[in-house]
Structure 1
Amino acid sequence: MNDIVEDYLHFLTVERGLSDNTVASYKNDLEQFIIYLKEHNFTSFAQLQRADITDYLHQETALKKANSSIVRSVTSLRRFFQYLLHENQITTDPMLLIDTPKKERHLPEVLSRNEVERLLETPNTGTALGIRDRAILELMYATGLRVSEVINLRLADLHTTVGLLKTIGKGQKERIIPIGDTAVYWINSYLENGRPKLLKQKRSDFLFLNFHGNQLTRQGIWKNLKIQVQKAGITKNITPHTLRHSFATHILENGADLRIVQELLGHADISTTQIYTHLSKRRLSAIYEQTHPRA
């Protein structure tokens, strides 16, 4: 069974061209599934029936797995068994009558504009690492880039003279995004005064580097952000994605068209973008209650 999964993951990478993160997600889901199958003495995917799948999903629920994890697991299994059917590894698809659980929609945490300002000002811009961190924060808030898109930016993707950058998002979709003047200023400061000191004697096409002159990682940005959030005195549960949420919410509050926000964020479906209109309404209600004398 492990060999079949490896073949499938290779198919996703080579034939489907899915990103490393997406393939890793499928791999994790399928590895958990195989552990369950071996614990219950299954030796082949062809043995499985609908009841076996539902038993597995009931166990996942009993283990108090997050709703989003179970939804993703169902999606992973559905696509995997479609692949097995196409490759004649099975004769019937046990996922055919399995319903995907409804995905819970939680409004994401968003920073206020004052909190954004405090966060942006926390890095010590008297150091190379501080200039880099300020440039990263300014860029993420100015563009709404995902953290994976930030770490994979290359020098050739920047067009600061015209205030634009190119990025490759989910599904290998390319998009062009405008950068604000403030973010351009800090990126240029980093390119002139920060990056050369981090690069040292090495060569790299990546924009953001770590202390050793190598490509900065997702974990590196998370670790640095935790420190910055603490310094800024922000008590909310903040992740790199919070800057993306804040970017979308704030420009919608200032009158941006939802379709434009969809394009900037790289959402395939506008229903994903619509969550930010709920955030704007929630904040509008909060401001009303705080300011109206008869609220």
Structure 2
Amino acid sequence: MARTKGGLASDLAGYKAYLLEKEVAQLTVASYLADLQDTIKYLEEQGVDDWASVDRASLMGYLTSLKDTGHKSSTLNRRVSSLRRFFAFLQRERKVASDPVSLIRVDQTKRLAPRGLEIEESNVLIENAPGKGDTKVRNRALLALLVATGARVNEIIDLKLSDLDLDLGVVYLGKKIRRLVPLNEGANQIIGDYIKTERANRVQPEASSTVFLNNRGAPLSRQSVWEIVNQAGKLGQIKGSVTPQRVRDGFAYRLLKHGADLTLVQNLMGHQSILTTQIYLEK
């Protein structure tokens, strides 16, 4: 997936041209763009500068901020509709791999909590890692890390060996906001086994420090991570669409279920605003 250059607003000109080409009324185009500008302002305040990094939780945080400042349901509905159209455009342009708006239902904007994986489903996901041989070992390690840390897809594909300290059982995630996330014993063991054995067979010089590699020894793509998670969900017969975001949501819910402080969850998830984290209290 091509990474957006020039910030979030850089794609608006292309989107405007696309809408006008489709003969969308100019007043309607202006309305869509105004909605997106407001969304961009919120996201940039959260440190987001690339549409491929926007996930469902950050958009729900935005909608929650509108709700908390007194905006009516009609406004929330319109923003969701504008975002859905825009992400469809970004997918067509191959600038994002998925649509984080797809699971936000317009008629349910008053209930903004996402649907995360339950702990039993998370275990099933790891045990049903797709592939055979070395590929299955890698996929199992990737899934174990996702479940144990709630990492974002871009954090998984960018992860370096120096970000892992398996002796201490921790991983460093994020670029702008670095955070230390503990690994449970099971995940630590699965990831360690992969690095010491199967990963060594994949390494190419240009990707020597990247943790998760494809069969050619190069870093995995965003699409590959999505496919691994989705296939594991199907093999494990988990109900509903299983995505990396749903795994990430499940991580947040498990922390809160076991009594974690909201600020701790915010830090472990890498949220700049606690409004984004508060959506997990609405389940």
TM-score by length of 1: 0.65
**Aligned match of 2:182:** 178
Pair 21,176 (structure 1): closer, same or farther in 2 beyond 3 Å: farther
Report the 3-state secondary structure (helix = DSSP H, G, I; strand = E; otherwise coil) of the residue aligned with 2:181: strand
Provide closer, same or farther for how the CA distance between residues 223 and 78 of structure 1 changes in structure 2, counting only shifts above 3 A: closer
Structure 1 36/227 Cα, relative in aligned 2: closer, same or farther at 3 Å?
Answer: closer
Q: Which residue of 1 aligns with 2:59?
A: none
Partner of 1:148: 154
Assess, with a 3 A threshold, how the Cα gap between structure 1 residues 23 and 233 changes in structure 2: closer, same or farther: farther
Q: How has the CA–CA distance of structure 1 residues 255 and 183 changed in structure 2, closer, same or farther, with 3 Å as cutoff? A: same
Q: Please give the residue correspondences for 1:241-252 in structure 2 after superposition, counting only pairs within 5 Å.
A: 241-252=245-256
- Cα offset, 1:239, TM superposition: 0.9
Letter matched to residue 166 of structure 1: Y
The aligned counterpart of 2:105 is: none
2:231 is equivalent to residue 227 of structure 1: yes
Q: Which one of 29, 36, 60 corresponds to residue 72 of structure 1?
A: 36
C-alpha distance in structure 2 between counterparts of 1:20 and 1:274, whole Å: 29
Give yes or no for contact 2:214–2:220 (8 Å, CA) kept in 1.
yes
CA 22–262 in structure 1, closer or farther in 2 if over 3 Å, else same: farther
Q: Distance in 1 between matches of 2:185 and 2:131?
A: 18
Aligned to 1:32: 15
156 and 258 in structure 1: CA distance in 2 versus 1, 3 angstrom threshold: same
Q: Which residue of 2 aligns with 1:240?
A: 244
- Given that residues 204 and 218 in structure 2 are in contact (C-alpha distance below 8 angstroms), is that contact kept between their aligned partners in structure 1? no
Structure of greater relative contact order (alpha carbons < 8 Å, 6+ residues apart): 2
Matched, 1:188 2:161: no
- Map of 1:1-295 to 2, 5 A cutoff? 20=3, 23=6, 25-36=8-19, 54-58=27-31, 60=32, 71-76=35-40, 101-102=75-76, 104=109, 106-123=112-129, 127-169=133-175, 172-199=176-203, 203-279=207-283
Aligned AA (1:257): D
Alpha-carbon contact 1:146-1:241 (below 8 Å) kept: yes
Q: Mark the CA change 1:126 to 1:237 in structure 2 (over 3 Å): closer, same or farther.
A: closer
Q: How many residues in Structure 1 have an aligned counterpart in Structure 2?
A: 220
Give the superposition deviation at 1:228: 1.0
Please identify, of 270-279 and 69-78, the stretch whose mean Cα deviation from structure 2 is larger: 69-78
Query: TM-score, normalized by length of structure 2?
Result: 0.68
Distance (Å, rounded) in 2 between the aligned partners of 1:22 and 1:250: 35
Q: Give per-residue Cα distances to partners, 1:141-192, cap 9 Å, x unaligned.
A: 11111111111011111111111221225xx222222222111101101101
Shift of 1:113: 1.9
SS at match of 1:123: coil
5+ residue gaps, structure 2: 44-70, 80-108
Q: What is the CA distance between 1:28 and its match in structure 2?
A: 3.1
Q: Whole-Å Cα distance in 1 between the matches of residues 151 and 178 of structure 2?
A: 12
Q: Alignment partner of 1:216: what SS?
A: coil
State, as a whole percentage, how many aligned pairs show the same letter. 29
Rg bigger for which structure? 1
State the one-letter code of the partner of 2:13: L
Cα deviation, residue 245, structure 1:
0.3
C-alpha deviations, 1:113-142, integer Å up to 9, x for none? 221121110126861111111111111111
Residues 106, 38 of structure 1: alpha-carbon distance in 2 compared, 3 angstrom cutoff? same
Contact 1:124–1:131 (CA<8 Å) still a contact in 2?
Answer: no
Q: Secondary structure at the match of 2:219?
A: coil
